[in-house]
Amino acid sequence: MTGFPGRRPIYGDAVHITVGADLLVFAGKIMTRGTLSDGRGFAELVLPDADAQQRRDLERAGHYQYEIYLEGRLLYSSPELTLRDTRRDDAGALVVTGSP
């Protein structure tokens, strides 16, 4: 599945995030969905924040693309996105928001 994620969450167990020439891999409980704010569409990616260096690399990059997997099967591949925000949710997961 490619394009922009719908409002219905897509759950996976791994995500590969391409940042320039680097590949960041996160494993665990992963979720992505499309959100709207002020009439603009955003892709929200929620992932475990196990490696602080990976989080910093993503924040510095500004642009990224990601693929979400479940048991090795590709569920969703994003277009290239511009990083708009990173934050932690109430459970401590990293929430990454981007837009095309």
Residues 51-96: tens digit of each pLDDT: 778 778 888 888 999 999 999 999 999 999 999 988 888 888 889 9
pLDDT at 35 over 70: yes
Single-letter code of the amino acid located at 1: M
Dist. CA 70–CA 59, nearest whole Å: 25
Q: pTM for the full model?
A: 0.86
Domain boundaries, the chain: 21-99
Instruction: Measure the CA–CA gap between 97 and 13, rounded to whole angstroms.
Output: 19
Q: Do the Cβ atoms of 66 and 15 come closer than 8 Å?
A: yes
User: At 50, is the pLDDT very low, low, confident or very high (cuts 50, 70, 90)?
Assistant: low
What does each C-alpha distance from 57 to 17, 40, 41, 81 come to in angstroms? 11, 26, 24, 15
Percent of the chain residues topping a pLDDT of 70: 93
